[in-house]
Chains A and B, each alone.
Chain A
Amino acid sequence: MSKYSDELTYGFTGQVAPPVRETRIGVCSAYCGACDELIADVQSGCAQLQGRRFAQSGGCQLMLAVGIVSSLTNVVVIVHSPLGCCSGFVGSGGLRKTMRASKGKREEEFVWLHTNLDEMDVVRGGLDKLREAVLYAEREYHPDAIIIANGCVPGIIGDDIDSLVTELGGRISAKLVPIHCEGFKSRYVASGYDSAYHGVLRHLVEPLVKYERAIPDEKQETLDRYRISRTVNIFNVGSNSNGDEVELSRIVSALGLIPRVLPLHASLDDLARIGEAALNVSVCATHDDYLLGHLKERFGTPYIIDTLPIGIRSTNLWLLRIAEFFGLEAEAERVIKLENDQLNAALEPFRRELRGKSVYVGGGETRILTTASFFAEDLGMDVVGVKAHNVDRFVEEIMEELEDPRLEITVAAGQPAEELNVLARLRPDLYCGHVGANGWVSRLGIPNLPLFGQALNYMGYTGAYELARKASKALKNTNFVKNISRGVKLPLSAEWLARDTKLNIKETEAV
């Protein structure tokens, strides 16, 4: 179990809104140096004080929060804001059907509303519009829950959405879930996950009320107790695919345990039973330490927040930690040996193709470090650098175990200008990055592949194989990026591309 999460406390559900991550765990959002320097600077607190002179747009915690709660079954989302916040739903709303279908869930049309705040509402408040929207959602769609995502405008002018929730709570059958995820409140956008789970924990996780049976059924009760004692909750994330969930469930099942994947795409009934598990397991600390910490305090369910199961070593470690909890180490060793032997044999042709090729990885801190380790350790590639959105203390252990402690790292959420400046110098053979980065890397002429994909398998043993297959495929024909780099211009000045990346970093409050 991560030493770091044990230092944290999670008793925040009495508050309307959770603390942002800047105050709860501290975060570095701008850095340029080597991994070992970064760890030292994070531990001393210096790294958290770095900002940048030239900044570009990144994420918004509202988007991340809504991404979590909008996935729940039979919910309507109300975005309490002007029309722009979450307007990306017009492009992504249709994906709900395919996403649910991929998980074998009933097809659902995604319904969202905007309170459409305007200049008058800025002056007089937007609660009347929100009330109308809630009643409309209830009347037209009868959802299990109505999620209210609070944007910057009501956050700044001080709309008291919680009092409205109290007012309407008794009048409608849907559960009302206010989510306090105003974008301006946190530059560490993963705060949005905490905002989302805060709302879920306060308003949706209501354990089933059980009554004593008139005629006790001891056999059934024993079976229930046994089931719960073997159940492992695997906490999914927005960036994983159904293939990832199937694979992680497969290897947990191989230990004789009962995997259950939560909370994305879950129904309210699923959430009511979230406490019926022996162990909660994270696949990414950035996503769910807040949720798992709370569940431990509330239901006493122990948790494991360790590594992200990408690549052979991380997947072995992830599985072993689970096995250790249940005293199944010997079983795990056998599973791991079998899986590793099979996978290593299957990876051999890709190793021959990829060995010695240079690669750069950018994206979320846990995912890039585990992915980079897989490229280096299992495929023999030359990792020339990594870029993390943010760095906090959850990845200390992973960074300390890196083959090359002097590995070059920049910390920047998005910030493609900085990243392209680095890549123009390093010119790796292959780039693997987060959504939003790859298009720029293509324009620079570097072959690339996405760091994650909701339709692709990255996690577990099969995910490692798929990742190797994708890396190899990207290098089978690199003409697309060559042509694009010749035909499409980047907006960056020659002066910028030639200068030292470090010059953009300054000592300040984070920007």
Chain B
Amino acid sequence: MSTSTFIERAKFSCALGGALTTLAGLPRTVPIVHAAGGCAASLSGAYNTAAGYRGVGYCGGNMIPTSNIAENNIVFGGEDRLAEQIENTLLAMDGDLYVVVTGCQVEIIGDDAVGIARRFSDRNVIGVSSPGFLGNTLAGYDAVMSSIVDNVVAPSPVKDTRTVNIFGVVPGHDVFYRGNLDELARLLGRVGVKANTFFGTGESIEKIRGCGAASLSIVLSPKTGVKPAGRLREKTGAPYILSEIPIGPSGSADFLRQIGGALGVDPRLVEDVIADETEYYYSYLERIVDIYSDIDFQRYAIVAADSYYAHAYTRFLANDLGWIPHLTAINDIDDPEEQAEYLKRFGDITSETRPAVVFERNAGQLLRHVRDSRARNRNEKYYDALSPAYVVGTGIERSLADKLGAGFLAAAFPVSNRVVLHRGYAGWRGALSFVEDLITNLVAAR
């Protein structure tokens, strides 16, 4: 039974949006959308402008082939139109993989789009049911990646004990997905582990077919990625482990130890890499020590993000940067049991002050949570204000930061006030970029 309600200023699109942003991250992949004419371009457009101007990708935006069904198809069905559209897409578009995805309209009327796609399976066409009402962005990622596992990844009889697949990083929804994946692949490479990232630099559909040789899947999100990783386990026997996007020295060291341990990597190698990366990190961080200390850049941190980033950012700010974790708001966990499970992650916060953690789906309520987090100022002469504060959130929290007079960095979807190219916040190097961005905003007026 559904317990969902309305959402104020949701930081997600629908399952079809998630499917399309996932497909836009896959190399040379052509989506074919069986839906009304506007769905594809407008959903793709959301990720063009709200994922740090990630663009529409290889075959996105209004380039997306669409069956463009209308009212008569709602009555008579749209399967013939879809078949014609697939046939002509294969003629017009150059791709290594063609993926039929569906919108609400055709699923309600019962078109068998996946079945139609199957007729073209000898020409690299697969079908995925992804109507918007299936859920949010993450449901679309799971649907597409599960289908990739089922229909594209080849079962491999031989396991490569030093190869892993990374799930749970949703292109576009993780605004920094490519920079992050490249950095994770680099770090894993340093301990002798090859990472299949699906969306990172150098990937191809051919390589994705070979993902079945991996001996382990890493799932980096508590809300997405388990489904395709589970399907892969059924298919090839490769187990999956739950982890977290590592940001900065403490998170990244844990990450390498966890993965190294799971794969039986020599711990000395892991520790050597950790020491080396940590040294590199501090050799650069040293640059801001003077200004940070001289004019006090320690801040009360308010983190507002989805469960993929919320703890990871909080942990970095508290454990590595030494900011005061005041309030962390997570926007995508509604289930009380899942909330309790996620809360446990905050057990590793080492600052003297522990953050208040709230689960809040409505963006407008964040201000109330911040106000409730302290005694109100009743015009006292002496008042312990929440200042200086800094909001690390999504673009939507900009107005919250304005109201609080706080510093602000958009670091989770949506991000539309800056351009993100190869930047990532993962690992030690990503954390350096993160600190650059945080502190730049504090000195920008100089």
Tell me if A358 counts as interface (CB < 8 A to partner B): no
**Segment with Cβ contacts to B, from A52-60, A282-290, A373-381:** A52-60
Q: Which residues from chain A sit less than 8 Å from chain B, CB to CB?
A: 53-63, 78, 81-94, 109, 111-122, 129-130, 132-133, 136, 140-141, 151-153, 156-157, 183-187, 189, 413-417, 436-437, 439-440, 489, 491-496, 504, 509-511
Q: Tell me if B432 is interfacial: C-beta within 8 Å of chain A.
A: no
What CA separation (Å) do A509 and B65 show in the bound complex?
A: 19
B38, A183: Cβ atoms closer than 8 Å:
yes
Contact among A83, A133, A183, A489 with B39 in the assembled complex (CB-CB below 8 Å): A183
Collect the chain A residues with CB atoms within 8 Å of residue B45's CB: 88, 91, 436
* In the assembled complex, B58 has its CB within 8 A of some CB on chain A: yes
Of B66-74, B196-204, B230-238, B270-278, the stretch lying at the interface with chain A is B66-74
B1-45 vs A, CB cutoff 8 Å, 1 = contact: the mask equals 110111111111111110000000000101001001111111111
Q: Tell me if B136 and A132 are in contact (CB < 8 A).
A: no
**Which of A54, A90, A111, A413 touches B46 (beta carbons < 8 Å)?**
A90
Measured between beta carbons, the chain B residues less than 8 angstroms from A493 are 91-94
Give the segment of B47-55, B319-327, B377-385 that binds chain A. Answer: B47-55
Selected contact of B41 from candidates A116, A414, A492, A509, CB within 8 Å: A414
Q: Does B105 contact A (CB under 8 A)?
A: yes
15 contacts between A and B (CB under 8 A): A53-B88, A56-B62, A57-B33, A57-B38, A57-B64, A89-B9, A93-B9, A111-B9, A113-B6, A113-B9, A140-B8, A156-B104, A184-B105, A189-B37, A491-B94
The answer to whether A83 touches B108 (Cβ under 8 A) is no
Task: For A94, give its contact among B8, B135, B416 (CB under 8 Å).
Answer: B416
In the bound complex, residues from chain A placing their C-beta under 8 Å from that of B59 are 491
- Contacts of A81 on B, CB cut-off 8 Å? 132
A493 to B59, CA, bound (A): 12
Partner of A140, one of B30, B95, B364: B364
**A91 with B414: in contact, given A58-B37, A136-B8 (CB under 8 Å)?**
yes
Quick check: A63 and B42 within 8 Å, CB to CB?
A: yes
Q: Looking across the interface, which residue of chain B has its beta carbon closest to that of A87?
A: B13
Partner of B92, one of A61, A63, A88, A492: A492
Identify which of B5, B30, B39 contacts A491 (C-beta below 8 A). B30
* Residue pair B71, A184 in contact (C-beta under 8 Å): yes
Take A56-B63, A82-B14, A90-B414 as given contacts and tell me if A116 and B5 are in contact as well, using a CB distance cutoff of 8 Å.
yes
Tell me how far the C-beta of A147 lies from the nearest C-beta in chain B, rounded to whole angstroms.
14
Bound Cα distance from A372 to B384, whole angstroms: 63
Docked CA distance A177–B45 (Å): 26
CB distance from A445 to the nearest CB of B (A): 16
Which residues of A have CB within 8 Å of B15? Answer: 82, 84
A86 to B42, CA, bound (A): 8
Binds A, one of B348-356, B395-403, B420-428: B395-403
A511 engages B68 (CB within 8 Å): yes
Contacting pair A94 B398 (CB below 8 A): yes
Q: What distance in Å separates the Cβ of A247 from its nearest Cβ neighbour in chain B?
A: 28
Instruction: Assess the A184–B69 pair: CB atoms within 8 A.
Output: yes
- Give the nearest-CB partner of A434 in chain B: B62
- B84 x A439 contact (CB < 8 A): no
Most chain A beta carbons < 10 A, residue from B9, B43, B394: B9
The interface residues of chain B lying within 8 Å CB-to-CB of A496 are 91-93
CB distance from A84 to the nearest CB of B (A): 3
Known contacts: A94-B395, A112-B9, A414-B41. The answer to whether A440 contacts B1 by CB under 8 A is no
Question: In the assembly, what is the distance between CA of A491 and CA of B33, in Å?
Answer: 16
Q: Does B61 contact A (CB under 8 A)?
A: yes
Contact A153 B133 (CB under 8 A): yes
- Whole-angstrom CA separation of A53 from B104 in the bound complex: 22
Residues on B with beta carbons closer than 8 Å to the beta carbon of A53: 84, 88
A491 and B68 in contact, given A90-B50, A116-B5, A414-B41 (Cβ under 8 angstroms): no
Interface residue ranges of B84-108 to A (CB < 8 Å): 84-85, 88-89, 91-95, 103-105, 108
- Is the Cβ of A119 less than 8 Å from the Cβ of B2? yes
Kindly name the residue among A119, A120, A491, A510 whose own CB sees the greatest number of chain B CB atoms within 10 A.
Answer: A491
For B104, list chain A residues within 8 Å (CB).
82, 122, 151-153, 156
Residue contact A492 to B43, C-beta cutoff 8 Å: no
Q: CA of A115 to CA of B7 in the docked complex: distance in angstroms? A: 6
Q: Are A91 and B46 neighbours in the complex by a CB distance under 8 Å? A: yes
CB distance from A451 to the nearest CB of B (A): 14
Report how far A221 CA is from B255 CA in the complex, Å: 78
Contact B10 A87 (CB under 8 A): yes
Residue of A60, A122, A185, A415 with most partner-chain B CB within 10 A: A60
CB of B417 within 8 Å of the partner chain: yes
Q: Is there an interface contact between A439 and B417, defined as CB atoms closer than 8 Å?
A: no
B322-376 CB contacts (< 8 Å) to partner A: 362, 364
Quick one: which of B124-158 are within 8 Å of A by CB?
131-137
CA distance A83 to B140 in the complex (A): 12
With the chains together, A209 CA to B7 CA distance in Å? 38
| CB pair A436 B41 closer than 8 Å | yes
Closest residue of B by beta carbon distance from A88: B46
Q: Which residue of B lies closest to A137 (CB)?
A: B8
Q: Are A121 and B13 closer than 8 Å at their CB atoms?
A: no
- Residues on A with C-beta less than 8 A from B396 are 90, 93
B119 near A: Cβ within 8 Å?
Answer: no
Known contacts A56-B66, A58-B62, A116-B7; decide if A87 and B133 are in contact (CB<8 Å): no
Q: A91-B414, A436-B62 are in contact. Are A152 and B36 (CB under 8 A)?
A: yes
Q: How many angstroms from the CA of A84 to the CA of B39 in the assembled complex? A: 8
- What is the CA–CA distance of A276 and B100 in the complex, to the nearest angstrom? 53
Nearest chain A CB to B106 CB, angstrom units: 10
What separation, in Å, do the CA atoms of A93 and B95 have in the docked complex?
34
Known: A57-B37, A439-B61. A87 touches B17 (CB 8 A): yes
Residues of chain A lying within 8 A (CB to CB) of residue B58: 489, 491
- In angstroms, how far is the closest chain B Cβ from the Cβ of A298? 29
The distance in angstroms between the C-alpha atoms of A132 and B14, with both chains bound, is 20
Chain B contacts with A in 102-118, Cβ cutoff 8 A:
103-105, 108-109
A63 to B62, CA, bound (A): 14
Minimum CB distance partner of A184 in chain B: B36
Is B312 in contact with chain A by the CB < 8 A criterion? no
Q: Would A55 and B68 be within 8 Å (CB), given that A88-B50, A153-B108, A491-B59 are in contact?
A: yes
B61 and A111 within 8 A (CB): no
Q: Which residues on the B side are within 8 Å of A82 (C-beta)?
A: 14-15, 104, 131-133
> Are A84 and B395 closer than 8 Å at their CB atoms?
no
Chain A residues whose C-beta falls within 8 Å of the C-beta of B6 in the assembled complex: 78, 113-116, 129-130, 132-133, 136
Residue of B at shortest CB range from A413?
B37
Given contacts A54-B92, A184-B70, A511-B81, contact A90 B62 (CB under 8 A): no
Bound form: Cα–Cα A37–B181 in Å: 54
A511 / chain B contacts, CB cutoff of 8 Å: 68, 70, 81
Residues of B within 8 A of A495 (CB): 91
Chain B contacts of A415 at CB under 8 A? 62
- Chain A residues with CB under 8 A of B33: 57
A31 to B40, CA, bound (A): 23
**Chain B residues closer than 8 Å to A90, beta-carbon distance:** 9-11, 13, 46, 50, 394-396, 413-414, 416
* Contact call B105/A152, Cβ cutoff below 8 A: yes
- Chain B residues closer than 8 Å to A151, beta-carbon distance: 104
Contact indicator A59/B11 (Cβ below 8 Å): no
Q: Whole-angstrom distance from the CB of B412 to the nearest CB of chain A?
A: 11
> Does the CB pair A83–B88 fall under 8 Å?
no
Chain B residues near A119 (CB-CB < 8 A)? 2, 133-134
Judging by beta carbons under 8 Å apart, are A57 and B93 in contact?
no
Contact of A85 among B2, B132, B137 (CB under 8 A): B132
Q: Is the CB of A439 within 8 A of B55?
A: yes
Q: In the complex, which residue of chain B has the Cβ closest to the Cβ of A80? A: B6
B91 touches A54 (CB 8 A): yes
